Amino acid sequence: MGSRIAARLGAVLLIVVLGALAVAVAVFLAMGAVNLIQRGAGTHLEEPPTPSMEFSEPPADPLPGRPSGP
């Protein structure tokens, strides 16, 4: 009778360990897929040039007639 309990306990432990291993492998593969997608996302697209602002003259006073100093 004791050997039946031990065999059943061993089978349950084996299922639990294999299930935990399967979950760990699934998480590892999912993280790898996310990493590959993030690295490869947008690499085939050309980056448009970043516009830059250049001021050739100072801007006009938006409130004429108002003192501009403290």
pLDDT-based confidence at 52, cuts 50/70/90? confident
**28 occurs within a structural domain:** yes
**9 occurs within a structural domain:** yes
**44 occurs within a structural domain:** no
In the chain, the number of structural domains is 1
Cα 63 from chain centroid (whole Å): 47
State the residue range of the domain holding 20.
1-37
- State the distance between the two ends of the chain, measured CA to CA, in whole angstroms: 96
Handedness of CA 7, 9, 10, 16 (dihedral sign): positive
pTM of the model: 0.51
- How far apart (Å, rounded) are the C-alpha atoms in residues 61 and 70? 16
**27 occurs within a structural domain:** yes
**69 occurs within a structural domain:** no
pLDDT-based confidence at 16, cuts 50/70/90? very high
**12 occurs within a structural domain:** yes
